[in-house]
Amino acid sequence: MSIYQRCVYPIALVTLGFTTSLYAQVSTINSAVYTPRQFNDIPGATLTVVSNYPSLISFEEQNVSQSTGFANRDSWHFSSDSGATPFLFGNNDAFTITMDVTLTADPISPRKEAGFVFNNPLNDGGEFIVNTDGHEFVAFGGFLPFYNSHLNFNSGDTVTMGLTIFKDSSGKNAIIYFARTATACVESAALEFSNVELGVIDGTSIGGYLQIVNSPTVATNSGTVVFQNIQIGAPDQDFDGVPDSSDDCPNTPPCSLVNASGCSIDQLAPCDGPASGGAWRNHGQYVSAVARAVNEFLAQGVIDQTQADAMLSAAGQSPCGSKR
């Protein structure tokens, strides 16, 4: 166990206070198990692994080139026994995973891809990845509902990828995919599982991987992935960092700044009228509500004075609450 893990673990325990029994099992995850060369079609390539879960895992494959062969793939999976064996997820588990992914390729084609991977004994898992030649964020394969974020990925970008698996209001297992680049942020709808098992197949392991397709012609064909800030916790459907069980404002728009209760300023002071219902009496009442929220965010350290000034100015110039 690294020093970082020793520091973080007690904090993680504190945050588990209001979680469900379904999450209790996933909360035992404390490490990763590594499977270098899950595919080893180009055995002469050079692999470098950095294994420092949860702060940093990286795989680097250099000189992935021989006359025939498909690809090399290196993977890691969550573990609850200090990396001895993969943690086996079940059909009833509910959780959110997020991680920062930096995939760098030289050249970008043939394809390098990296992201989430699901594996199980039925060989029916799935992947949620970025790739260097298609420039995609895409989920496909196995039991995973298909998703293409339409965000653009370029080699070398650091992006945040996330997924939440939970039971929806119909009691069915569903997944929400999340992706963030330097300039954009998206979430999928809640997509219900449609496989026979209606969700994660019992015994599935989950983690991340790098895959480099062989180049018979480019001797230096190489790629690197760095996974950082790997987090698994209780379901957080709107990915604002506040678990559903303690989030006062569901469905916060992707990548909004939120307070400790999971509410954005727009949710606390909506343009259309008070969060409690009805209409603003006038523009001044709206601006006052924004100012209260902005001051709370300042006090909590969510925003700085420059951001606060910009938000107050925008509220003042908005038509919100004005008679029309």
Footprint on this chain of Ca ion (rule: CB under 5 A): 236, 238, 240, 242, 247, 249, 252, 262
Nearest to 95 by CA among 165, 171, 19: 165
Q: How far is the CB of 187 from Ca ion (least distance, A)?
A: 11
- Per the CB < 8 A criterion, the answer to whether 199 and 33 are in contact is no
Query: Residue 57 or residue 179: which is nearer to Ca ion going by CB?
Result: 179
Q: How far is the CB of 245 from Ca ion (least distance, A)?
A: 9
Q: How far is the CB of 186 from Ca ion (least distance, A)?
A: 16
Please state, as a whole number, how many other Cβ atoms lie within 10 Å of the Cβ of residue 322. Answer: 11
Nearest to 15 by CA among 232, 164, 161, 177: 232
Write the single-letter amino acid at 55: S
Q: How far is the CB of 274 from Ca ion (least distance, A)?
A: 18
Query: Residue 113 or residue 244: which is nearer to Ca ion going by CB?
Result: 244
Q: What tokens does 128 get?
A: 């949620």
Q: What tokens does 228 get?
A: 């950082």
Tell me the C-alpha distance between 111 and 113, whole Å.
Answer: 6
- Per the CB < 8 A criterion, the answer to whether 45 and 73 are in contact is no
Q: How far is the CB of 238 from Ca ion (least distance, A)?
A: 4
- Per the CB < 8 A criterion, the answer to whether 234 and 20 are in contact is yes
Please state, as a whole number, how many other Cβ atoms lie within 10 Å of the Cβ of residue 241. Answer: 15
Q: How far is the CB of 285 from Ca ion (least distance, A)?
A: 24
Tell me the C-alpha distance between 99 and 126, whole Å.
Answer: 17
Query: Residue 249 or residue 269: which is nearer to Ca ion going by CB?
Result: 249
Query: Residue 164 or residue 181: which is nearer to Ca ion going by CB?
Result: 164
Query: Residue 210 or residue 311: which is nearer to Ca ion going by CB?
Result: 311
DSSP state of 204: B
Tell me the C-alpha distance between 44 and 64, whole Å.
Answer: 8
DSSP state of 89: B
Query: Residue 77 or residue 180: which is nearer to Ca ion going by CB?
Result: 180
Query: Residue 274 or residue 316: which is nearer to Ca ion going by CB?
Result: 274
Q: How far is the CB of 248 from Ca ion (least distance, A)?
A: 7
Helix (H, G, I), strand (E, B) or coil at 40: strand
Q: How far is the CB of 276 from Ca ion (least distance, A)?
A: 17
Query: Residue 98 or residue 214: which is nearer to Ca ion going by CB?
Result: 98
Tell me the C-alpha distance between 23 and 20, whole Å.
Answer: 5
